[in-house]
Amino acid sequence: MKVTVLIENTVAKPLDLLGEHGLSLWVETPGHRILYDTGQSGALVHNAGALGIPLPAADVIVLSHGHYDHTGGLRAALKMIGHRLPVFAHPELFSPHRVSEPDRYVGIPFDRAELDASGADFRWVKDPREIFPGVWAGGTVPKTNTFERGDARMYIWDEGRRVPDPLNDDLSLYLETAKGLVILTGCAHAGVVNIVEHARAVTGQERVRAVIGGTHLAPVGADQLEKTIDYLKKLDLELLAASHCTGLAVAARLAAEFGPRFSFGSTGLTFTF
């Protein structure tokens, strides 16, 4: 199985690749090809060309959540793919996500009809769903610990009131291998520890081999960061590719903690399992 980083904030190789604030991963299992997220601008199409990745061969698209930096390239990806295909996402994908500092809309930059017309065949995943043998879309993540508190800057309007954004649409991919789980996260807004625990419960596989993707550890407090690092260390991961909203400072800390098992998970890298 292979996971290639099509879009991330940074670029790993001196090739003709574009980096942008966002995430997109190309997953090749023995039987299937999955596009997980699409970055923010459509630059994934350019990068796929540069990396020799055949986007039209994708069997499905899976979206980690509605934020623009994960869904903004969706229309460009659908256009490149050129035929109707399943798009797995949480039913709250179109939630009107907002963020303060500066205050703005950060949700999906398309409406449903526009995407339907572009070839998206939406399949809603609220409860865990095995979309292919050994490939799980996690659905809503139960919040099982008290230290992962989410990002206070993220909110939605609810009947005229500003309320914290529950980001229920946070959806991760769990890939089963003989040696344990490979977990792909978008921004891990539900908390990376909650997500890993959910992956273990859903798949019945205790051993976790790798975590790849955004962790949203950049803005968290010291308590959450230390508890998360302790937890991840106990997993004895083969690979931690914490990228995107992990932030450079936290990523540098993780690189020091995890040594050769850590990767910045930049655009152009491929991880093989």
Half-sphere exposure of 210 (CA within 13 A, CB side): 23
What would the DSSP string read from start to end of 7-31?
Answer: E-SSB-SSSS----SS-EEEEE-SS
- The one segment of 43-51, 87-95, 110-118, 244-252 that binds Fe ion by CB under 5 A: 244-252
* From 8, 69, 148, 176, residue interacting with Fe ion (rule: CB under 5 A): 69
**Binding status of residue 165 toward Fe ion by CB under 5 A:** no
Q: Which is nearer to Fe ion, 29 or 47 (CB)?
A: 47
CB of 37 to Fe ion, least distance (A): 9
CA 200 to chain centre: 17
Encoded one letter per residue, x for contact with Fe ion by CB under 5 A and - for no contact, window 179-198 reads --------x-----------
List of E strands, 29-84: 33-36, 60-62
What residue number has its CB nearest to Fe ion?
187
Q: Which is nearer to Fe ion, 67 or 209 (CB)?
A: 67
Half-sphere exposure of 42 (CA within 13 A, CB side): 8
Say how many C-beta atoms besides its own lie within 10 A of residue 252's C-beta.
13
39-68 binders of Fe ion (CB under 5 A): 67
List of residues contacting Fe ion (CB under 5 A): 67, 69, 187, 245
